[in-house]
Amino acid sequence: MSTVALKDVTKIWPDGTYAVDNVSLEVQDGEFMVLLGPSGCGKSTVLRMIAGLEDPTRGEILLNGEPVLELPPRDRSIAMVFQDFALYPHMTVSENIGFPLKLSGIEPSPRQDRVDAIAGALGIGEVLGRRPGQLSGGQRQRVAMGRAMVRRPGIFLMDEPLSNLDSGLRAELRAEISSMTRELGVTTMYVTHDQAEALTMADRVAIMRRGVLQDLGTPTEVYRRPATLYTAAFLGSPKMNLLEAAVYVHLDRYIALSFGEQTLYLAWSDPRARAVARYHGERIVVGIRAEALTPVTPDTQGHVFQGRIRYLEHHGHESLAYLDIGATAIVVDEIGAALTDTRGQGGGAFRRLGGALQRLTRPGGAEVAPEGPGGVATDPGRHHRKPAELAVRLAPYPQVSHGHPLAVSVRMDAVHFFDQRGDRIDAGWR
């Protein structure tokens, strides 16, 4: 049995960077957990701490229920595959894969049996005599995985193992890695910034941003019910439409969500109505995925947005229309790697995100470049408002074009509500 647990783990680099900020997480025996987040959010640091390559500043790491901070990497029964999967160039594939066994003193004959078995499982049995220089990128990656797996680790850590490969090969290896780790029943933590990888491979996904855990659940849970505005904005393609709405409660009728020129009505019978009603007179963020929008005829009544097509994108199997509906969008921008976090004390992403949104929702506050004391950016990303371009799915190559009017009905039960701190409003509801 192999489990991994992080308890309130924080890693602060000497320069004050919070690489990992109070993360707690448990990976069950045999589970495939994906750690997802943008560059610089602390994913590799989490893996490296589990492997014992870095020590946490605070908090505990437990393997199989036992604290391991004193345990050196080689005693942790962990194998790790890195992004650059360095192989020994002067050794053959067979020697590369067998090397960890040789180090542990296993005799040549049983060693070769294990190498042959794992190479067969990975589909590289034919190239065992070649050197890494004579392999394709995908084959090299399989060799690196073979070398990691050959000692039959209890825990398998993979840090963006596919990011150096082209997209076709990535999709192929994605399926192979999932099925291989499941067949072997090995507990796996897999790091990626690619949401497609996360959603297709994971038993559960942990979503990180700037060192803070944002959401944790099965792919379906985090996609269908994102816990924060950030997760909502991060998962899904096209991106979720995030619109600013003012809430007006009409006790005898409904809750009106005003998007400027247009209004949606939340019925009192909706299980989330009371939670949303608490925001009477305030502005919230309403999230609507493209799949919750259906084109309808212009005279349709009910939950309908009337818009005009700003532009179209053709993707072969579908076309996306972006509609101007006179609403305001909240943009949760993502930031690149290595922004130094200079804040002195805790506070967490929610509060920081909240600050940004509050500034945004102040009357008259259009674009905001959040600045902290001394002009240092303290927000986790730049969030701003802009005229909404509502993404709507259409059949491929539709008979409409730029400037064309289009009405879309909104499936109210598929709409998400977030408060100004970026938290889900109906958190208790299922």
Ligand X SMILES: Nc1ncnc2c1ncn2[C@@H]1O[C@H](COP(=O)(O)OP(=O)(O)OP(=O)(O)O)[C@@H](O)[C@H]1O
Q: Which residues bind Mg ion (CB under 5 A)?
A: 44
For ligand X, give the closer residue by CB, 37 or 154. 37
For ligand X, give the closer residue by CB, 37 or 153. 37
For ligand X, give the closer residue by CB, 193 or 283. 193
Per the DSSP assignment, residues forming a β-bridge with 228 are 423
Smallest distance, Å, CB 50 to ligand X? Answer: 12
SS3 label, residue 19 = strand
Residue 133 to residue 297: CA distance in whole angstroms: 60
Binding segment toward ligand X, per CB under 6 A, in 10-18, 236-244, 294-302, 388-396: 10-18
Tell me the three-class secondary structure of 123-170, residue by residue. Answer: CCHHHCCCCHHHCCHHHHHHHHHHHHHCCCCCEEEEECCCCCCCHHHH
- Compute the CA torsion angle 276, 279, 282, 284 (nearest 10 deg): -40
Smallest distance, Å, CB 56 to ligand X? Answer: 13
Determine whether 19 is exposed, middle or buried from the number of CB atoms within 10 Å of its CB (0-12, 13-18, 19+): buried
209 binds ligand X (CB under 6 A): no
One character per residue 301-340, x = contact with ligand X (rule: CB under 6 A): ------------------------------------xx--
Residue 45 site contact among ligand X, Mg ion, none (CB < 5 to 8 Å, cut-off depends on kind): ligand X
Task: Determine contact, residues 49/99, Cβ cutoff 8 Å.
Answer: no
Per CB under 6 A, the list member of 25, 31, 36, 40 interacting with ligand X is 40
Smallest distance, Å, CB 341 to ligand X? Answer: 8
45 binds ligand X (CB under 6 A): yes
DSSP 74: G
For Mg ion, give the closer residue by CB, 214 or 420. 214
Query: Which residue's Cβ has the minimum distance to Mg ion?
Result: 44
Paired tokens of 198: 């996360």
Residue 90 to residue 55: CA distance in whole angstroms: 33
Smallest distance, Å, CB 335 to ligand X? Answer: 10
Residue with tokens 């990975």: 122
205 binds ligand X (CB under 6 A): no
43 binds ligand X (CB under 6 A): yes
Residue with tokens 């109906």: 426
For ligand X, give the closer residue by CB, 338 or 366. 338
Which positions lie near ligand X, rule CB under 6 A?
13, 15, 17, 19, 37, 39-45, 193, 337-338
